[in-house]
Amino acid sequence: MDSILTELGLHTICEEARCPNRGECYERGTATFLILGDTCTRGCRFCAVTRGVPAPPSPDEPERLAEAVARMGLRHVVVTMVTRDDLPDGGASHFARVVEAIRERTEAIVEVLTSDFRGDRESLDMVLAARPEVFNHNIETVPRLYRRVRPGSEYPRSLEVLRCAAAHPLRPAVKSGLMVGLGETPEEVGAVFRDLRAAGVQLLTIGQYLSPGGPLLPVSEFVEPARFERYAALARSLGFEDTFSGPYVRSSYLAERALVRLEKRGSGRSQPAGRARPVRETAHPTSAHPDEDR
C-alpha cells in the first residue's frame, strides 16, 4: 500500500497525523486519504499536519486517488482534507470531484471527513451532493477549550455543519468525534454529547489525545479505560447509533464496522442512487476496545 501511495503521489492522514492504528486499518482494507495537499491553513494545536501556505489543488488528484482505491481493492474509503481557507469554496468542489472519481472507478463505500468550510452552506452542499455514505466533521473538544485547541474554528459553527448534514435530503450517516485528555471535565464531555445528538449525529468516536510533541499541546491527562467505558455508556443512553470509545480510537477507527451496524438497523441513511450493495462485514478481526462488540 505504501508503494502505491508513493507511486501515485498521494497522502494519507494515517502518515501525516502519525496515527497509531495505521497497520491495523491497512490490514482490514481501509485507508484514510488526505487531499488538497499536505499543508493546512489553520494551526490546530493538537495536529501534526504542517501549517503554512498550501500549493494550488492538483487537478489530477481525484483520478490518482481513485486509481489507488481500485488498485488497493479498498472496501471502505475515508477521505479527509487539510483546511483550505485560501480557496473561495474551501476546497469543496475539489473534494466533490474526488468522491465522484471514486464512484466512477470502484464500488467502495465512501466516508468524508471535512473541514467546517468556514460555515459556508454552498460549499457543504457541494460535498453532500456527491453522495458520500458517511459525512464526518469532528467537534474535537469542548467549547471552553476551543480557542486554545482549535484557533480559527468555532464550536457553534461546527455544530451547525453537522446539523445541516443531518438535515440534508440525501441523508448520509452523520458522524463526529472528540479527543479527551486536553483538560476537559466529564461534565463538559457529556454536554458535548448532548449537543451532537441534538444536531442529528448518529456515530461517535472518543479517543485519547496523544501529543505529537514539539510546539503542540501537551497531554493534560491520560484517561483511564473505565472512564472511556462510562463515556460509551452515556452515548448509548443518549441514542447514538454506534460509539467507539477507547485510548487509541481515532475518527476513522473501525469506520466500516460502524456503517455495517447502521445499515443493519436501517437507521437514518439512504443508499445513493445506483449504489445499492449488500452489507459486508470486515474481512479481518480487530483488537477489542470497550465498546466494540456491543
Chain segment 162-185, per-residue pLDDT in tens: 999 999 999 999 999 999 999 999
Of 102, 103, 81, nearest to 92 (Cα)?
A: 81
At residue 135, φ and ψ (nearest 5 deg) are -110, 125
Using pLDDT thresholds of 50, 70 and 90, give the confidence band for residue 11.
confident
Contact criterion met (CB below 8 Å) for 287 and 242: no
- CA separation for the pair 112, 174 (Å, rounded): 10
Of 38, 44, 82, nearest to 215 (Cα)?
A: 44
Contact criterion met (CB below 8 Å) for 33 and 10: yes
User: Is CATH 3.40.50.300 the classification given to domain 2-265?
Assistant: no
Comparing 61 with 278, which gets the higher pLDDT? 61
Of 181, 196, 172, nearest to 249 (Cα)?
A: 181
Using pLDDT thresholds of 50, 70 and 90, give the confidence band for residue 22.
low
Instruction: Name the least confident of 109-118, 127-136, 212-221, 236-245.
Output: 212-221
Q: Is residue 4 classed exposed, middle or buried when 0-12, 13-18 and 19+ CB atoms within 10 A define those classes?
A: middle
Average pLDDT over residues 151-166: 97
Contact criterion met (CB below 8 Å) for 270 and 166: no
What are the extents of the domains in the chain?
2-265
Write down the pLDDT at residue 20: 60
Write down the pLDDT at residue 174: 97
Average pLDDT over residues 271-277: 41
C-alpha cell at 178: 472528540
Mean pLDDT of the chain: 85
- For the chain, the residue count is 294
Q: Is residue 38 classed exposed, middle or buried when 0-12, 13-18 and 19+ CB atoms within 10 A define those classes?
A: middle
Write down the pLDDT at residue 291: 33
Question: What percent of the chain is modeled with pLDDT above 90?
Answer: 65
Write down the pLDDT at residue 121: 97
